[in-house]
Structures are given as C-alpha cells and as structure tokens.
C-alpha cells in the first residue's frame, strides 16, 4: 500500500507556485519617505527662489492671450483654403511666450 504522504507532497509542489504567483501581480509598492515632515511642507508650498518681474510677466501673458485669440479666425480661413501669411509666425510666438512664462513660473 502506498503512503498518502507522497501524493500530498507532489500536489503541494505543483500548487505552491500557482498560489504564490497570484500574490506577485504588479510592481511592489515603494517604501514610505524617511522624513515625512519635510516632504509634506515642501510639496504643499513650493517657493520661487529667483526674482521675477511681475509687470513683465503680466505683459507677456496678455500678449500671449491676444495672440491666441486670433488663432480661431485663422483656422476658419485655413478651412476655406487660404493660409494667412502670419499664421505660422503667430504659432511660433505663442510657443515662445508660453515657454518663457513656464520657465519663469516653474520652480
């Protein structure tokens, strides 16, 4: 008569990898930060270390808004088959102004 331990061990050998693979789905969670006090204060209130000319920033933001407001009319003309001569320059100006504003505001 065969021992009941051998089939039980073989069954455990086959089922153990299947059971443990269900627990490893996905990436492991990252460890918590070591210094929780400094992490929360810097994340809540970023400070700007450089001096900013707010009048110049406002002027550039207004220029960006004015230029961007003309784009829908240019797009309507483009749909009709005519390309406005300053359309590409306007898009470049919008991109340049937005990059400049972003670089001044981003800490």
Give the tens place of pLDDT for each residue, 2-43: 566 666 676 666 666 655 555 556 788 888 888 777 655 555
Give the tens place of pLDDT for each residue, 34-85: 877 765 555 555 555 567 788 999 999 999 999 999 999 999 999 999 999 9
pLDDT of 53: 84
Task: Give the start-to-end residue ranges of the domains of the chain.
Answer: 51-107
pTM, full prediction: 0.52
pLDDT of 41: 52
Dist. CA 34–CA 19, nearest whole Å: 33
Dist. CA 17–CA 37, nearest whole Å: 41
Dist. CA 79–CA 99, nearest whole Å: 28
């Amino acid at each position: 008569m065969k021992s009941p331990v051998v089939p039980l061990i073989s069954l455990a050998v086959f089922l153990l990898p299947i059971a443990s693979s269900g627990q490893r789905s996905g990436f492991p969670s990252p460890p918590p930060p070591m210094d929780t006090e400094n992490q929360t204060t810097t994340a809540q209130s970023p400070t700007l270390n450089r001096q900013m000319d707010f009048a110049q920033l406002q002027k550039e933001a207004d220029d960006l808004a004015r230029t961007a407001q003309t784009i829908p009319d240019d797009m309507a003309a483009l749909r009709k088959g005519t390309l406005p001569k300053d359309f590409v320059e306007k898009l470049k100006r919008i991109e340049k102004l937005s990059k400049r504003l972003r670089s001044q505001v981003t800490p």
